[in-house]
Amino acid sequence: MTRTSRGFNHFIKELCPEAILTKKLMLPRKFVKTVRDELSREVCLEAPNGRIWIIGLTREPGDRNIVWLDSGFGEFLSFYSIGARHSLIFKYRGGSHFQVVVCDNTACEVAYTAEVLPVSFGEEDGSDDPEFDGEEADGEEEEEEEMDGFLSILATQKSLLFWSS
């Protein structure tokens, strides 16, 4: 773990088969002890491709330093094809926000492509948007393409900045 003025904010967890089966991961006690008052009931995991995952936390009754990632963690594991003997490197950014790097069972980082998330109200055709009249405005398609390119570049830069800060 790396120490800062706030405490420890980097840690590595190798996933054992039990973590995969239970879809839960215990955070290191030493880390939790330094940030437990900052942690809410949910944490934000920022994946290498820029996607944000909201994951529930469970605290062990009777021991404030035992905290588990649980609700939503199984979906995170499945989405990134994370299995036993993979490792996760966590960088705590404060405010219950973690950046996560995934390493495979050879201890090498898994390269994920930047994900461009659509900005919409629901269906791709915009039908859930109360102001959508069924027709695209002139230039709207070009603006969407520019935004997609911008978000892709932003996600890549965020990933690169992870290690420089």
Place of tokens 């990632």: 69
> Between 138 and 89, whose confidence is greater?
89
The pLDDT tens digits for 68-123 are: 999 999 999 999 999 999 999 999 999 999 999 999 999 999 998 776 555 444 44
Domain 3-112 grouped into CATH 1.10.3720.10:
no
Portions of the chain given CATH number 2.40.330.10:
3-112
Per-residue buried b or exposed e for 88-116, using 16+ beta carbons within 10 Å of the residue's own CB? bbbbbeeebebbbbbbeeeeeeeebebeb
Look up residue 4 and give its two tokens.
Answer: 């800062």
- What pLDDT does 113 receive? 78
Higher pLDDT, 120 or 7: 7
- List, for residues 46-61, the tens digit of each pLDDT value: 998 889 999 999 999 9
Binning pLDDT at 50, 70 and 90, where does residue 32 land?
very high
Cα 112 to the center of its chain, rounded Å: 13
Residue 65 CA to residue 33 CA, distance in Å, equals 6
Global confidence as pTM: 0.66
Mean per-residue pLDDT of the chain: 78
> What's the DSSP call for residue 41?
S
In this structure, what are the phi and psi dihedrals at residue 164, rounded to the nearest 5 degrees? -85, -15
Confidence at residue 103, expressed as pLDDT on a 0 to 100 scale: 96
